[in-house]
Amino acid sequence: MAIQVGIAPDSWGVWFPNHEKQTPWSRCMDEMRQAGYDGVELGPWGYFPNTYPELKQALDARSLELVAGTVGGDFLNDASIDDMCQTIDEIAAVIMRFPQAKYIVLLPAMYTDLETGEFVMDPNLTDAQWATYCKNVQRAADRVASHGLIGAFHPHVDCHVQTEEQIERLLTDTDVQLCFDTGHHVYGGGEPIAFYKKHADRIPYIHIKDCDLAVKAKMDENKWSFAKAVTEDIMVEPGKGSIDFAKLHDALVEKGYDGWVVVEQDLFPVKSFDIPLPIAKRGRENLAKAGF
């Protein structure tokens, strides 16, 4: 059994394929290696090079392994999933050529506006809407599987699958696997270590993230948007928030976890491109102390 540690572009303030406030991709990839990580996620499709020769050359030059791709969509909207499936085909055509890359993370649309926090969808679904949601999650996962990869659904802040009850309902009503994000799980009121132990057979892939519950309390009191909460450091490097990562490591060993854990810390927008690297280094050091 081997647990390997990677990191995602999110930890360099990358939420979009292109944005003037984001760290340039080459600097991001350089610093991923400098911070001590062995593997990377692609992040938003189009941020890193998205053709095989260029991507392979960039990774090989830094001795990094590609771990996974990521794609997002609105699982209540069939047309959105049409587009999502097309992107899945594009991502799969590239990442299936990398031996360590087994996953495409399936990100759901948020029901709040990222910047304002205003509701853009009803957070509560009817039974009919839930059926549509599950159908489309399954459709996306099946599309990934058609390429010999695993579509791992990512429960997320302010999404229709966020709480432990919602995640377990999805697990019951589909056969999808999870990309289990420890920070989002805490944000949603859950206890990640116990939940992982309970559902380890459906969790082949993990995002390592920590959540500062004191900031979460301020967010709830002041009705901040998630984007605002990120600027107030609601998500922190592993070991600085509420999660005991040594206990998480022990749980992974107990359940025979064999694969990658990927650090993903929300930092958008970074006030300076010099900010992410020291944070990523501290996170890696803290995880090493916890056994990773």
* pLDDT bracket for residue 271 (50, 70, 90): confident
Beta carbons of 212 and 267 less than 8 angstroms apart: no
The CATH number for 189's domain is 3.20.20.150
Average pLDDT score over residue span 261-265? 95
Q: Is the predicted pLDDT of residue 17 greater than 80, yes or no?
A: yes
Average pLDDT score over residue span 77-90? 98
> How high does pLDDT run on average in the chain?
95
Q: Is the predicted pLDDT of residue 251 greater than 90, yes or no?
A: yes
Neighbour-count burial for 168-190, b at 16+ CB within 10 Å, e otherwise: eebbeebebbbbbbbbbbbbbeb
- Who contacts 140 (Cβ-Cβ below 8 Å, separation ≥6)? 71, 73, 75, 81, 84, 85, 88, 106, 151
Cα–Cα distance between 177 and 97 in angstroms, integer?
22
Q: Is the predicted pLDDT of residue 269 greater than 90, yes or no?
A: no
Tokens of 85: 């499936």
Range of the structural domain that residue 159 is part of: 3-289
The DSSP 8-state label assigned to residue 112 in this structure reads B
Beta strands in 3-64 (DSSP E): 3-7, 39-41
The confidence score (pLDDT) of residue 2 equals 83
* pLDDT bracket for residue 280 (50, 70, 90): very high
Q: Is the predicted pLDDT of residue 230 greater than 90, yes or no?
A: no
Domain count, the chain: 1
Average pLDDT score over residue span 5-34? 95
% of the chain residues with pLDDT over 90: 88
- How many Cβ atoms from other residues are within 10 Å of residue 132's Cβ? 17
Q: Is the predicted pLDDT of residue 226 greater than 90, yes or no?
A: no
- Who contacts 25 (Cβ-Cβ below 8 Å, separation ≥6)? 9, 47, 48, 49
Question: How does pLDDT run across 122-165, given as a tens digit for each residue?
Answer: 999 999 999 999 999 999 999 999 999 999 999 999 999 999 99
% of the chain residues with pLDDT over 70: 100
The confidence score (pLDDT) of residue 1 equals 54
Q: Is the predicted pLDDT of residue 69 greater than 70, yes or no?
A: yes
